[in-house]
């Protein structure tokens, strides 16, 4: 699956937040978790958008003549 660099950028940030969970004091782990969730949400949103756009490009558009 080929995704844009922006999608991978957000996935990378999500992974970084999760990796940092271990050294983060328990009191502040909600910061890592909320940021990991937020960046994962953006990764999924971009990935879905890109996959749908690619599928759309492959199909002929309805209601449009070739004139």
Partner 1 sequence: MTVTIALIVLVALSFDFFNGFHDAASSIATVVSTRVLTPRQAVAWAAFFNFAAFLIFGTKVANTISNVVHPGTLTNAGIFAALVGAILWDIVTWILGLPTSSSHALVGGLAGAAVATAGWKTLVASEYQKIFVFIVLSPIVGILLAFTFMTGVFWLFHRYRKVEKLNRGFRRGQLFSAAAFSLGHGGNDAQKTMGVILALLIANGLLAKGSDVPLWVVLSAHAAIALGTLLGGWRIVHTMGSKITKLQPVGGMCAESAAATAIWGVTLAGIPVSTTHTIAGAIVGVGTTQRLSAVRWGVAGRVVWAWVLTIPGAFIMAWIAYLPFKGLVR
- Please count the other Cβ atoms lying within 10 Å of the Cβ belonging to residue 20: 14
How many chain residues touch partner 1 (CB under 8 A)? 19
Considering only 10-18, 50-58, 59-67, which stretch makes contact with partner 1 by CB under 8 A?
10-18
Q: Of the candidates 3, 20, 33, 44, which one interacts with partner 1 according to CB under 8 A?
A: 20
Distance in Å, CB of 9 to partner 1, minimum: 6
Residue 3 near partner 1 by CB under 8 A: no
């Amino acid at each position: 699956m080929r995704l844009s660099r922006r999608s991978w950028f957000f996935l990378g940030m999500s992974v970084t937040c999760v990796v940092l969970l271990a050294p983060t004091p328990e009191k502040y782990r909600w910061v890592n978790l909320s940021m990991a969730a937020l960046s994962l949400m953006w990764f999924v949103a971009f990935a879905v958008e890109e996959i749908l756009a690619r599928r759309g490009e492959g199909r002929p558009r309805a209601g449009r003549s070739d004139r």
